[in-house]
């Protein structure tokens, strides 16, 4: 089957050109001069539209298996497609967690039955405990390994424990200490992989909670118990570990201006440290809590206007290389608990692209930069480039077509995730993904997923692992 996308403006990180894209089967078969005559089975006239390499959401907690009441893989990949995302990278903290090659392959098989978009899998590092499994995880094709620096894990399920207070120590795996992380970094560096970290240092969190001396009641209390220093300390240590070992260290969901400064300084010294942020840190501030309540409770917490501005500067100057949604659904019932007890996490895979397109429409970020942070840069970081993240001959025909002029209103009711509430409910945005192709097949039209599940696992290409 051959198809032609004709009349669109093709956006790459370094250019925008009017070109027609020829798709043959699952691959891109050519970039043709606009208006070129070719024989195809199907033609999409997309004058006035922008054409991006399929967008990638590198930070999705599908909850599958383990917490089907919160989310499952079918729903979150439908939501991804609806929002214009053609590949998601699934976080390892489902139950059971992805901690070795066996659980990796098992997860891949489960997901392939129901996936509406392609997906990569993260591996979980539990510190010294599964250090020996990291080579097999990378060999299997894990896109990166994640350490939840600051979280205790439930010893029997490896689930994250949001609030460890009151739980017996024997039932918990404590967060890895810095020495363990040094070993993890050494191993990941040797394997040529990426180590990513949730950065909130747990002893600082504990001290801050002691300082507050009572339960969290207000959003200011929440900020006081999860101070900027907790994130900054992890990033500073991460930079040292990366410097000492050569490990590619990636800070996920960075939330503070101080974090941006530290990452920038490390990069100026050529330390292999990069960072991701999320739409909620770029579009919301603590002041929104009055209207949004626990819907916007997330770890690390959403902070002040100054942090938001610094994060945008980090996006603009390249300090931040990737943007993920940190789609971390919980049920409405769970979220309706008190600020102290509600679990942390925002529903976001479907709103990632709309919010970033809206930011581009208002001039906050260039469309070309979006092609990098939502596609090519992310694909390169996680070792799936140029199969993904590239509109070039032979690449997977993953393509997101955007109508830059469409103005529409985000509505929780219309989300495709299991959880149909969002901090951006009722917000009008400009720019919309109107078509998405996955390996040549149409998977979304006008914001609705189409077709049967056909998503497949994409494995990280790992030269170092293959050599050993």
**The dihedral formed by the CA atoms of 388, 392, 393 and 396, expressed in degrees to the nearest 10:** 20
- Indicate which single residue of 75, 78, 111, 198 sits in contact with ligand NCD (rule: CB under 6 A): 198
The reply on whether position 328 binds ligand NCD by CB under 6 A is yes
Nearer to ligand NCD, 326 or 396 (CB): 326
Nearest distance in Å: CB 145, ligand NCD: 14
Tokens linked to 264: 């920038």
Nearer to Zn ion, 150 or 453 (CB): 150
Within 10 angstroms of residue 430's Cβ, the number of other Cβ atoms is 17
Helix (H) or strand (E) holding 223: helix 219-225
The reply on whether position 298 binds ligand NCD by CB under 6 A is yes
Distances (CA, A) of 20 to 12, 17, 231, 366: 14, 10, 45, 22
Sign of CA dihedral 307, 12, 86, 5: positive
Contact code string over 10-49 relative to ligand NCD, x by CB under 6 A = ----------------------------------------
| b/e sequence 242-270, b meaning 16+ C-beta within 10 Å | bbebbbbbbbbbbbbbbbbbbbbebbeee
The reply on whether position 160 binds ligand NCD by CB under 6 A is yes
Nearer to ligand NCD, 314 or 345 (CB): 345
Cα 447 → chain centroid: 20
Nearest distance in Å: CB 346, ligand NCD: 7
The reply on whether position 310 binds ligand NCD by CB under 6 A is no
- Indicate which single residue of 345, 383, 440, 447 sits in contact with ligand NCD (rule: CB under 6 A): 345
The reply on whether position 276 binds ligand NCD by CB under 6 A is no
Nearer to ligand NCD, 50 or 302 (CB): 302
Helix (H) or strand (E) holding 33: strand 27-33
Nearer to ligand NCD, 5 or 352 (CB): 352
Helix (H) or strand (E) holding 312: helix 305-317
Eight-state DSSP code of residue 374: I
Distances (CA, A) of 457 to 86, 118, 211, 371: 12, 6, 46, 22
Nearer to ligand NCD, 345 or 383 (CB): 345
Nearer to Zn ion, 198 or 308 (CB): 198
Secondary structure (DSSP) of 251-265? E-S---HHHHHHHHH
Nearest distance in Å: CB 374, ligand NCD: 19
Residues 236-275 that bind ligand NCD (CB under 6 A): none
Tokens linked to 355: 């919010």
Nearest distance in Å: CB 3, ligand NCD: 38
The reply on whether position 326 binds ligand NCD by CB under 6 A is yes
Tell me phi and psi for residue 138, to 5 degrees: -65, -35
Nearest distance in Å: CB 379, ligand NCD: 21
User: For residues 461 and 379, what is the distance between their CA atoms, to the nearest angstrom?
Assistant: 11
Contact code string over 68-97 relative to ligand NCD, x by CB under 6 A = -------------------------x----
Crossing angle of helices 73-83 and 352-361, in 10° steps, is: 20
Residue 10's beta-bridge partner residues?
Answer: 17, 51
93 interacts with, out of Zn ion, ligand NCD, none, CB within 5 to 8 A per kind:
ligand NCD
Distances (CA, A) of 79 to 45, 87, 195, 418, 420: 25, 12, 27, 9, 10
Strand 160-161 to 152-154 pairing:
antiparallel
Size of the site for ligand NCD (CB under 6 A): 10
345 interacts with, out of ligand NCD, Zn ion, none, CB within 5 to 8 A per kind:
ligand NCD
256 interacts with, out of ligand NCD, Zn ion, none, CB within 5 to 8 A per kind:
none
Residues 99-158 that bind ligand NCD (CB under 6 A): none
The reply on whether position 58 binds ligand NCD by CB under 6 A is no
Footprint of Zn ion on this chain (CB under 5 A)? 198
The reply on whether position 299 binds ligand NCD by CB under 6 A is yes
Nearest distance in Å: CB 366, ligand NCD: 28
Nearer to ligand NCD, 297 or 456 (CB): 297
Whose structure tokens read 């309540």? Answer: 293
Nearer to ligand NCD, 29 or 298 (CB): 298
Tokens linked to 371: 């092609």
Nearer to ligand NCD, 328 or 384 (CB): 328
Strand 320-323 to 273-277 pairing:
parallel
Nearest distance in Å: CB 230, Zn ion: 12
HSE, side-chain direction, 13 A CA sphere, residue 181: 27
Nearest distance in Å: CB 299, ligand NCD: 4
Within 10 angstroms of residue 277's Cβ, the number of other Cβ atoms is 29
- Rg (C-alpha) for the chain, rounded Å, is 21
Nearest distance in Å: CB 192, ligand NCD: 25
Nearer to Zn ion, 84 or 175 (CB): 175
Interacting residues toward ligand NCD by CB under 6 A: 61, 93, 160, 198, 298-299, 326, 328, 344-345
């Amino acid at each position: 089957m051959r198809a032609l996308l004709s009349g669109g403006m093709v956006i790459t990180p370094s250019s925008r050109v009017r070109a027609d894209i020829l798709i043959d089967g699952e691959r891109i078969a050519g970039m043709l001069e606009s208006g070129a005559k070719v024989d195809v089975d199907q033609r999409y006239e997309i004058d006035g539209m922008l054409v991006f390499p399929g967008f990638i959401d590198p930070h999705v907690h599908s909850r599958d298996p383990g917490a089907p009441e919160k989310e499952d893989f079918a729903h979150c990949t439908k939501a991804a497609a609806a929002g214009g995302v053609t590949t998601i990278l699934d976080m390892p903290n489902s139950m059971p967690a992805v901690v070795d090659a066996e659980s990796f392959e098992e997860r891949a098989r489960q997901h392939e039955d129901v996936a509406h978009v392609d997906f990569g899998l993260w591996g979980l590092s539990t510190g010294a405990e599964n250090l020996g499994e990291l080579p097999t995880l990378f060999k299997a094709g894990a896109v990166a390994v994640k350490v939840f620096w600051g979280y205790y894990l439930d010893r029997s399920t490896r689930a994250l424990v949001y609030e460890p207070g009151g739980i017996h120590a024997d039932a918990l795996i404590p967060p890895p200490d810095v020495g363990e992380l040094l070993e993890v970094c050494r191993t990941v560096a040797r394997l040529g992989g990426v180590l990513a970290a949730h950065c909130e240092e747990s002893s600082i969190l504990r001290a801050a909670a002691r300082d507050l001396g009572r339960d969290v009641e207000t959003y200011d209390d929440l900020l006081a118990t999860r101070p900027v220093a907790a994130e900054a300390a992890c990033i500073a240590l991460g930079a040292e570990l990366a410097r000492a070992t050569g490990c590619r260290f990636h800070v996920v969901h960075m939330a503070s201006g101080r974090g941006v400064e530290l990452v920038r300084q490390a990069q100026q010294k050529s330390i292999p440290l990069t960072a991701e942020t999320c739409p909620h840190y770029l579009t919301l501030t603590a002041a929104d809590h009055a209207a949004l309540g626990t819907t916007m409770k997330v770890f690390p917490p959403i902070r002040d206007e100054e942090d938001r501005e610094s994060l945008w500067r980090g996006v603009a100057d390249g300090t931040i290389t990737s943007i993920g949604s940190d789609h971390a659904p919980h049920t409405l019932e769970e979220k309706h608990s008190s600020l102290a007890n509600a679990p942390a996490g925002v529903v976001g895979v479907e709103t990632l692209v709309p919010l970033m397109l809206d930011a581009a429409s208002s001039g906050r970020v260039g469309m070309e930069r979006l092609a990098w942070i939502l596609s090519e840069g992310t694909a390169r970081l996680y070792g799936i480039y140029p199969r993904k993240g590239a509109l070039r001959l032979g690449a997977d025909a993953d393509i997101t077509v955007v109508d830059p002029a469409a103005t529409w209103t985000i509505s929780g009711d219309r989300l495709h995730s299991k959880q149909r509430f969002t901090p951006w409910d009722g917000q009008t945005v400009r720019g919309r993904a109107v078509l998405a192709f996955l390996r040549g097949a149409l998977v979304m039209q006008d914001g609705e997923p189409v077709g049967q599940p056909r998503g497949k696992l994409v494995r990280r290409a790992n030269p170092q692992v293959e050599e050993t």
